[in-house]
Structures are given as C-alpha cells and as structure tokens.
Amino acid sequence: MSYDKEPGSPRLKIDELNGRNKIENIYIYIISGFSSFIEKLAPYLRQVIRFLFLPYAYVFLIDWKVCKKSKIGVLKDFLYIFFVFKTFPDHYQQCRLWEKKPREWALYWGSNYNPFQRRSLFRVLQPPKYRVVYEDKRLCHDICVLNGIPTPKEYKIVAPGENMEGVVRRLVETSSNLSKRIVVKPVNGKGGHSIIFFEVSGSEIHSLFSSSRKSTHAVESMIVQECIEQHKYLNQVSKSINTVRFVTALDKSEQVVELGAYMRFGSCSSLIDNLSKGGLAVKIDIEKGCLVGPGQNIAGKSFSEHPDSGVLFKDFAIPYWDQVRSLASTVQKKMNYHRILGMDIAITDSGPVIIEINSIYDNVGLEGICGPLFSRKDIYELFMSYKLFFCKRQILLIEKWHASFGVK
C-alpha cells in the first residue's frame, strides 16, 4: 500500500472531504431547487385557499343592510372578481363595488391578501427583511428621532409580565416633565389593539381608556409614550386622537407620489380613531387640504357629519396641511427601506407629528375612502413601471377607461 492510500493519510482525508462536499453540494442543490419550487407554487396554493374562503367573505364581510344588491347578484360579482381579476373580493363591501359597473372594478388594486399581489409587492416595494423598521415601534421611534422626524416622546418599555399601571405610577413618581396623558401600547401592535391611556394629575394617575385588554399585566413588550394633544380645531369634531392616514410611494427617479390621504375620527367616546374600533374616515382633497366627504365606517356606511359632534365633514379644513404633506414626503424619502408607506399623522397646535409608519398599509381602506387607485394615470404608470400587474385583462380595461375619459 502506498503512503497516499494508507488510512489517515493526507491524500485519503482530502478524497473523503471532497466526497462529502459533493454530497453536501447535491443536497444543497436539491433543497434549494425544492424551496424555489415551493416559492413559485405557494401563490397558487394560497389562491386555492382564498377560493375556499369565498363563502366566508360572502357571509361575514357583507353588510346586507348597507348592500342594496341581491344575494345572487353579489355571489355572481364575487365569482367574476375572483376569476376575471384574480383577486379576493374582500374589498367589495368597503369599496361599495355593487354601486360600480364591472369595468370600473379594474381600476381597483383591491385586496391586500391576494397572494400574487403580495408576492409582487414584497419583491419590489416592501421587502419583508425591512419590515421590522416600521413594525417595532421603539426602533421606528429611534430612527425617526435620528432623522429629525417629529414623533411622541418615549418614556419607557414595559417588559412582559410587568404591571402596567405600576410602571406608569413609578414613572410619575420619578419624573417631573410628563405629558398630561400617557399612552401604553404594544411594541409590535397594530389595528388599535391593546392600547391603554392614563391621565396624569400631580402624583395621581387614572386609567381613561383600554382597547381590548383585560389584564393589568403586560403579555408582551409595551412602549410608554406621551399622548399628544391634538389641535383645538380638530377637537371640535372628535376628542379622540384623530390622525391623517397618508399613503405615499417612491418612483424609480426617487420622486414621491402621493397615492391618497384621508382623515380618521374616533366615535362613541373612543380615544382611538382606528376603523376596526368603530372610527370613521373621510377623504382629503390633497391639493386643497380639506375634507371631501361624506365619511364612512369600516362597513361602508356613509356619514355626512360626525355622529357625536354633528360637525359637517364637507369642506372642513385640515390645520397645517402644507406641513402635513411635507412631513409625509420627508418620511418616505428618509425611511425608504420600503418604497410604499402608510403614515398616521396627528396634528397638534404647533404642527404635525408622526404617530406610526405602516409598512403594510390598508389598501382596501384607502380605496374605499379615496376611490380606485388606477383612476389616476400617474399611479397606474407607477405600478406598471414596477411590473406589479399580473392580470392582462385588468391592464386592458384600465387603458380603455383612461382613453374613454381622456385621463392624462
């Protein structure tokens, strides 16, 4: 036996290592190929699941007191939207599609839950790896501060298991420059869930409002912030913290495109304005800075005035509107990890303040309030430039609609 072939010899060890590397490379090749196959197949599987959930949308997402179309007619519309536009019709109620002609349905980007739309958005405009920048409220707050973006003061982080009222009480005892109201909310929360408001009066604190929370102990990390005092003019409409939802995008030349904006108001003595918590939303004329009206709730019911205060929505002017637009543009440019964002902006007596930045904005809510995105040619061309359309018939109908009405 030669030296190279002896057990434990360098040559034999190298041969064994090469053999293992070949096996490892084959394994990696098979796994990566399988993963790629699953990734391509996933949207189709999800679409099958969406089809199976059509009865759920039909039964639970339609308010038959508001919808004036027959149940058979709505069922036909559901199937048409699903198979022709290849999208899940969960925007049918909020966008009141029964009032529109089928050719107008093509102008809607539609459901946020369509798997093909989500895949396109995540690949091009909203990479999931950067989502934590917006979803982690503490991280988002710190980045805003570093970029000079106005945002509420952060006081403390409450660890899971801590008594929230006890934390706020100790904060009051050790701090002298707290705001009159304090808000405690989940670091990774959304939709207005699990938010608690405290009022500070000297050394005393009082719990004012709690949204869907029964326990006094934190079950997840919570952030303690100042509760901003909104502009006196907005208090005339609702005492809740009313915010502007402003949705923007960056085009390929790094210019900001304003997709739409609407004002949200709380109702029934709620301190939050989320539509999922009973709030109302009213379209804002971006150029004029005033409400267009009427407002509507999450079920699509219309309101010409606020149900509590009786203030008329139409032509109601938004304070500091030019500054609101400027702030939204600044945030989109400086927080451009995602190229499309939905910002919640509160307005104080001294100007606008960023409350939250949403990486996955509510497109159904946007189109339900502001109308279909693709009625504007610049937005259609923006989405086309990023190759976000997957339905050729939709493209054909949009271009035909623009040509018919001379949209430029």
Express each pLDDT in 55-68 by its tens digit.
999 999 899 988 98
Judge if 198 and 299 occupy the same domain.
no
Which of 226, 261, 285 corresponds to the end of one domain? Answer: 226
CA distance 389 to 246: 23
Residue that the structure tokens 């009066």 belong to: 201
SS3 189: coil
What is the pLDDT, as a whole number, of residue 113?
A: 65
Is residue 29 one of the residues assigned to a domain?
Answer: yes
What is the pLDDT, as a whole number, of residue 3?
A: 47
Judge if 339 and 392 occupy the same domain.
yes
- Within 13 Å of residue 16, how many CA atoms lie on the same side as its CB? 10
pLDDT tens sequence across 15-33 = 554 555 666 666 556 666 6
Judge if 242 and 295 occupy the same domain.
yes
CA distance 294 to 281: 9
User: For residue 273, which of 308, 247, 243, 231 has the smallest C-alpha distance?
Assistant: 243
Q: Output the domain CATH number for residue 250.
A: 3.30.470.20
Judge if 300 and 323 occupy the same domain.
yes
Q: What is the largest CA-CA distance in the chain?
A: 100
pLDDT tens sequence across 76-97 = 999 999 999 888 898 999 899 9
Is residue 139 one of the residues assigned to a domain?
Answer: no
Judge if 309 and 237 occupy the same domain.
yes
Mean pLDDT, residues 128-139: 91
What is the pLDDT, as a whole number, of residue 395?
A: 94
Residue that the structure tokens 């970029």 belong to: 147
Q: Would the pLDDT of 385 be above 50?
A: yes
Judge if 400 and 290 occupy the same domain.
yes
Q: Which residues pair with 264 in a beta bridge?
A: 243, 281
pLDDT tens sequence across 206-249 = 776 555 555 566 667 888 888 889 999 999 999 888 999 999 99
Which of 226, 244, 278 corresponds to the end of one domain? Answer: 226
Is residue 376 one of the residues assigned to a domain?
Answer: yes
Higher pLDDT, 32 or 405: 405
| Residue 130: DSSP 8-state | G
Judge if 245 and 272 occupy the same domain.
yes
pLDDT tens sequence across 241-293 = 899 999 999 999 999 999 999 999 988 767 777 777 778 999 999 999 999 97
Is residue 32 one of the residues assigned to a domain?
Answer: yes
Which of 226, 243, 266 corresponds to the end of one domain? Answer: 226
Query: What's the token pair of residue 323?
Result: 């500054």
Judge if 322 and 396 occupy the same domain.
yes
Judge if 166 and 27 occupy the same domain.
no
Judged by average pLDDT, the poorest of 11-20, 28-37, 107-116 is 11-20
What is the pLDDT, as a whole number, of residue 301?
A: 83
**pTM, whole model, 2 decimals?**
0.85
Is residue 286 one of the residues assigned to a domain?
Answer: yes
Judge if 386 and 401 occupy the same domain.
yes
Judge if 400 and 292 occupy the same domain.
yes
Report the number of distinct structural domains present in the chain: 3
What is the pLDDT, as a whole number, of residue 1?
A: 46
Is residue 129 one of the residues assigned to a domain?
Answer: no
Percent of the chain with pLDDT over 90: 49
Is residue 81 one of the residues assigned to a domain?
Answer: no
Judge if 262 and 399 occupy the same domain.
yes
| Burial bucket for residue 304 (CB in 10 Å: 0-12, 13-18, 19+) | exposed
Higher pLDDT, 4 or 171: 171
**Number of other residues whose CB lies within 10 A of the CB of residue 371:** 17
CA distance 314 to 298: 19
Is residue 330 one of the residues assigned to a domain?
Answer: yes
Domain that holds residue 177: 153-226
The type of residue at 276 is S
Q: Would the pLDDT of 376 be above 70?
A: yes
Query: What's the token pair of residue 281?
Result: 């939303």
- Residues near 221 by Cβ (< 8 Å), separated by ≥ 6? 157, 158, 159, 160, 186, 187, 188
Q: Would the pLDDT of 353 be above 60?
A: yes
